[in-house]
Structure 1
Amino acid sequence: MRPLHRFLRTLRDDLDAAHQHDPAARSLLEVALAYPGVHAIWVYRLAHHMWTVPLLRLPARLVSQAARAATGVEIHPGARIGERLFIDHGMGVVIGETAKVGDDVVLFHGATLGGRSMKRGKRHPTLGDRVVVGAGAKILGPVWLGDDVQVGANAVVITDVPTGAVAVGVPAKIRRRGTQVPFDVEVDDPAIYI
């Protein structure tokens, strides 16, 4: 497959992912014109391609900053993002330079894939395939989240999360899917559970 054809296919896959994950999306045209998360991903894909050429790293950063201003989504061009990422609503999403994101991942608004260190090297999370990160969740440091992990809204994840688990709370507690999550009406906000 030629590079341009592959690139256009990737853009179409991003459109399809948004359309499939958002029940409010009425058409691919609407998604293409009105979804800032999709726009941010498309600009990231261009900026990331530029980032691979050392002389284009500064222009890549400038392109990514223009996308941040336009969409409210900050994706460092050095991050490595798989196929069909869907960023719902978008505003406030941050993906750091050394983050790695698998295929078919969903990030809700305010999600952060950030660092905990100012040292060079791997300092951002690695997410497996089909991970869902709830609104306002923070995944910090070089932690690993396995495939099919769910992170509750506003959770703060600072440790690895095994495949198929659910992480909720501050700091996040890891639960196996299917286990009962205790709910205390006096303390807990139901929005933290997926």
Structure 2
Amino acid sequence: MFADDGAHLSLLRLLLTDGTSATFLFRLSHLCSRGFLSPLGLIFQILNKWFNGCVIGVKAQFGKGLVIMHPVGVVINSKVVTGERVVIESGVVIGDEKGLSPTIGNDVFIGTGAKIIGGVTIGDNVKIGANAVVVKDIPSNCTALGIPAKPKQ
């Protein structure tokens, strides 16, 4: 993703960015939580909280291409399910309400400080604006803005 904008980054610098380490630690915790290594998964989750300032539930399901741009303040519930190529900015909360968690499609961008709460469904090719609060379903191919967030075509 960084290489797409023409930036020249070494592999070491790419691996040491906070977003890459947050994604890596989440993937490790998720992998460990599936089997008898659950305690190790919780350790990776705690490390992610300490080093990156984010809390991502070990059972959250993300497809390929997850990008956490700036993980500080990111909180994601364990029951969240997403598609592929989801980009998350800082301060994003994706949370449960009354036992229901969001389902997020493919190619979704979630702006800084956005909140997605409850059993809502976010379609494919959606951009959620900074500080938007999503409490209702958002259809595919649109941008959601405001409090509460409303889709704009």
TM-score, normalised with respect to structure 2: 0.91
Higher Cα radius of gyration? 1
Greater share of helix residues, 1 or 2? 1
Tell me how far apart the structure 1 counterparts of residues 24 and 97 of structure 2 sit (CA, whole Å). 27
Name the amino acid aligned to 2:82. Answer: V
| Aligned partners of 2:25 and 2:47 also within 8 Å | no
Contact 1:152–1:167 (Cα < 8 Å) also in 2: yes
Q: CA deviation at 1:25?
A: 5.1
User: What does residue range 149-160 of structure 1 map to in structure 2 within 5 Å?
Assistant: 149-160=126-137
**1:104 to partner: Cα distance:** 1.1
> Which residue number corresponds to residue 148 of structure 2?
171
Spell out the pairing of 1:107-146 with structure 2 (5 A cutoff). 107-117=88-98, 119=99, 123-146=100-123
**What TM-score comes out, normalization by structure 1 length?**
0.73
Question: What count of residue pairs does the alignment treat as equivalent?
Answer: 152
Percent identity of paired positions between Structure 1 and Structure 2 = 35
- 2:53 — aligned with what? 72
Cross-structure match for 2:64: 83
Is the CA contact 1:111–1:138 (under 8 Å) kept in the aligned structure 2? Answer: yes
Q: Distance in 1 between matches of 2:21 and 2:119?
A: 27
List alignment gaps of at least 5 residues for structure 1.
Answer: 1-16, 177-194
Deviation at 1:29, TM superposition (A): 2.7
Structure-2 residue corresponding to 1:47: 29
Amino acid at match of 1:142: G
Unaligned runs of 5+ in 2: none
CA distance in 1, matches of 2:137, 2:3: 29
Aligned counterparts of 1:24 and 1:66: Cα–Cα separation in 2? 31
Are 1:30 and 2:7 counterparts?
Answer: no
Amino acid at match of 1:76: G
Q: Which amino acid aligns with 1:174?
A: P
Residue of structure 1 aligned with 2:85, choices 87, 90, 104: 104
